[in-house]
Structure 1
Amino acid sequence: MHSNFSYPSRRGFLRMSGAGFGHLALTGLLGSLAKTAAAADLNTNNPLAPKRPPLPAKAKRIIFLFMEGAMSTVDTFEYKPELQRRDGKPGPGGGTITASKFQFKQYGQSGAWFSELLPHIAGHADEYCFLRGLYTDTPAHPQAVVQLHTGSANASLTRPSMGSWLLYGLGTENQNLPGYIVINPPVSFGGAANYGSAFLPAYYQGTAITDKGVMPNIQASTSRGLERQQIDLIQDLNREVAAAPGAPEAVEGIIKSYELGFRMQDSVPELLDISKEPQHVLDAYGVKPGIEGSFARQCLMARRLSEAGVRFVEIRQPGWDHHTNLHNGLIEETRRVDQPTAALLADLKQRGLLDETLVLFGSEFGRLPTSQGADGRDHNITGYAMFLAGAGVKKGYSHGNTDELGMAAVDGRMHINDLHATLLGLMGIDHERLTYRYAGRDFRLTDVAGVVQRDVFA
């Protein structure tokens, strides 16, 4: 043992030490020990080891570009001629139909429509598989964001996030990196629930970082030597528990999660140092200081993380909640995401990564075709769009559609559960068989619903 430490209680020590990822992992994992029967099928020696997909996999990893706040798709990539023609007339169910102020035109051989707001993204029109018939259950941002990330808006029981389910089902390709990383995750709208593991073991939760590569769970003031001593002490205590008669096998997983957390502090900061990228790459993404360059930095970091084998990366651009200031707000937000998104797709393709990486772009719901106030649109949960690109999906393809105004999904309707089932299917996982027993029942990402939309599969 280490003579330069005094020994408070185990609980007191853990509360004070905050030993980086080890502390984070332990606090969650100790809470899961009572569920050892449910965890009996886990590989506790290495629960994050890569696993063979049970079905033929079309993609190895996912990058999710989350436009938080509900992007207006009828102003960006959902062209509705009837919306333009009926500008100023009464809308179905009330309100005034409001045409988009932006010019649309078609791109590529597919003839996909994009507004003038997204010229760079439009340049990849023939790569996209549009999901145009999406709908969800609640018009409130907090519940809808959580449902998009976990499959459920039920506030009484937090569910594991889709990245956690994916990591649970497939493990990670790089044992020195977390398999699930979120950059600039939501601090509201559900906060950590959007990347948490809930009742899954804590080593399946997302690792949160900033767009500057800072890992908030690591205490920068703690020297590496002192932190190593802290972890060694905790590991000694854990091994005592593991050696006791009847000790849960999951304690071995706790021990390994500490070591992973310590190793990550060497590998992750270097990986996230985008300053070492060639200038032409930085210019292509539009990397610049401050908030204007935040999304560009995230996109470049997402490419580096995916290239290194991270299974699920989520990046985020807030600011799309345009109940007012719709026109100028869309100009501002699209300026921040258009070039970096296109650069990410081009970079992945140039490196041969797009054929094995699935990219998802979208929001928790959409915006109505009617006006709200002088210059705004209210929430629309009955019909909106996202798009996919990359591994396993048809290129230059549209699945489903909304009505002539963009009000409601009428064809190829996809609930969020269907979206999750389809994403898992593209990764080689049967969403009905990816389950975890908790509180006496089997849970899954898609709950008791979800239909795989195989029409989008290449």
Structure 2
Amino acid sequence: MGDLSNIFPCGRIGRRDLFKSAAGFMGCFMGGALGSMWAEDGHIPDVRIAPTLPVKAKSVIFLYMCGGVSHIDTFDPKDNKWAGKLIDATGFGDNVAEMKRPVIPILRTFTRYGKCGKLVSDWFPNIGGVADEIAFVHSMWCNEGNHFPAVIETQTGHRGRQFDHPCLGSWISYALGTANKNLPTFVNIGRPSSPVQLRRSSISDGRLHRFN
């Protein structure tokens, strides 16, 4: 067995690496602190707004897992009648990507859970145990067949490659308001390797700039 003491070499972290790692958190703090001070001085509108709608939630944690597990393998099973057929044979879309591989059948088994009778994959029996306490949204759909514009549409509700529309964080801030006096109304933590356009679409405040 290797020396496990070297897995997390915190004792040898340099000052440059420390400041580089802490820069993001300092940005979050300073952004909220300066925004609060400027609002009090009248330089920008006050971000400490009251909720515009009656709400029960106090905060939202949104985990957006682009490229995550398929919905048909988790909570939204579909008919296997198209299994083995090419995309062109299904009649769905124009197959712009010219995919030539056949449709793969669903290999999971589903069980109904709770009073709601929710179908849950055998991958998530523990989630099935609390199915009555979870809201499953099956009404969402997207016009795009490509990941890049589909992510933008999901994050902002708008199609195309324009990035000046309010993101989900701005809309939630608009609806819930904020109880903080010295912190941003929302914080986005993304992968550094993500394309800059996708990062921008997930943090853009658009016309709701005063709520960001």
TM range (shorter): 0.5 to 0.7
Other-structure match for 2:139: 133
Per the TM alignment, residue 70 of structure 1 is displaced from its structure 2 partner at its CA by 5.3
Structure 1 CA distance, aligned partners of 2:146 and 2:49?
37
- Cα displacement string for residues 88-140 of structure 1 (whole angstroms, at most 9, x for unaligned residues): 35652287443212222222222211112222322221122322232112122
Q: Which amino acid aligns with 1:143?
A: P
- The 3 A distance-change label for structure 1 pair 162 and 173 is same
Give the CA deviation at 1:180.
Answer: 0.6
Partner amino acid, structure 2, of 1:125: A
Calculate the TM-score normalised by the size of structure 2.
Answer: 0.63
Distance 2:29 2:179 in 1: 24
Distance 1:87 1:147 in 2: 28
Q: How far off is 1:63 after superposition? A: 2.2
Q: TM-score, with normalisation over the residues of structure 1?
A: 0.32
2:76 aligns to what?
Answer: 78
- Structure 1: distance between partners of 2:28 and 2:135: 40
1:308-342 deviation per Cα after TM superposition (whole angstroms, max 9, x unaligned): xxxxxxxxxxxxxxxxxxxxxxxxxxxxxxxxxxx
Tell me the equivalent position of 1:198: 206
Using the TM superposition, give the Cα deviation of residue 157 of structure 1 relative to its aligned residue in structure 2, in angstroms.
5.1
The CA distance in 2 between the partners of 1:128 and 1:153, in whole Å, is: 29
Q: Give 1:45 shift.
A: 6.9
Corresponding letter in the other structure for 2:188 = V
* Cα distance in 2 for residues equivalent to 1:203 and 1:52: 11
Identity %: 30
**One-letter code aligned to 1:68:** C
Residue 56 of structure 1 is aligned with which of 54, 61, 83?
54
Change beyond 3 A, Cα 1:102–1:202:
same
- 1:180-238: CA deviation from partner (whole Å, max 9, x where unpaired): 1223357236113211223543760xxxxxxxxxxxxxxxxxxxxxxxxxxxxxxxxxx
Q: Report the CA distance shift for 1:154/1:100 in structure 2 as closer, same or farther (over 3 A).
A: closer
Say if 1:67 and 1:123 are closer, same or farther in 2 by CA, change over 3 A.
Answer: farther
State the distance in 2 between where 1:70 and 1:22 align.
Answer: 27
Residue type of the alignment partner of 2:149? Q
Q: Partners in 1 of 2:30 and 2:150 — Cα distance? A: 27
Contact 1:47 1:171 in 2 (8 A): no
Number of residue pairs the alignment of both structures matches: 169
Query: In the alignment, what sits opposite 1:47?
Result: 46
Residue in structure 2 matched with residue 166 of structure 1 by the alignment: 172
Kept in 2: contact 1:48–1:167 (CA 8 A): no
The 1:148/1:185 distance shift into structure 2, 3 A limit, reads: farther
Shift of 1:51: 0.5
Structure 1 gap segments, 5+ residues each:
1-17, 30-42, 205-458
Q: Per-residue deviation at 1:144?
A: 1.3
Distance in 2, matches of 1:157 and 1:109, equals 42
1:98 to 98, 101, 104: 104
Q: In the TM superposition, what is the alpha-carbon distance from 1:170 to its structure 2 partner?
A: 4.1
CA change 1:170–1:127 in 2 (3 A) is closer
Distance across 2 between alignment mates of 1:89 and 1:144: 25
Q: 1:88 aligns with which of 73, 84, 87?
A: 84
Deviations 1:24-55 (A, max 9, x none): 85xxx9xxxxxxxxxxxxx86762214143x3
Q: After TM superposition, give the deviation of residue 68 of structure 1 in Å.
A: 0.9
CA distance 1:50–1:158, shift in 2 (3 Å):
closer
| Cα 1:100–1:154 shift into 2, 3 Å | closer
1:273-330 per-position Cα deviation (integer Å, ceiling 9, x unaligned): xxxxxxxxxxxxxxxxxxxxxxxxxxxxxxxxxxxxxxxxxxxxxxxxxxxxxxxxxx
Distance 1:46 1:151, change over 3 A: same
Is there any run of 5+ residues in structure 2 with no aligned partner, and where? 1-22, 36-41, 93-100
In terms of fraction of residues, the more strand-rich structure is: 1
Distance 1:126 1:21 in 2: 40
Residues 338-357 of structure 1 deviation map (CA, whole Å, 9 limit, x = unaligned): xxxxxxxxxxxxxxxxxxxx
Q: What's the secondary structure of 2:132's corresponding residue?
A: helix
Please provide the CA RMSD for this pair. 3.6
Which residue in 2 is equivalent to 1:326? Answer: none
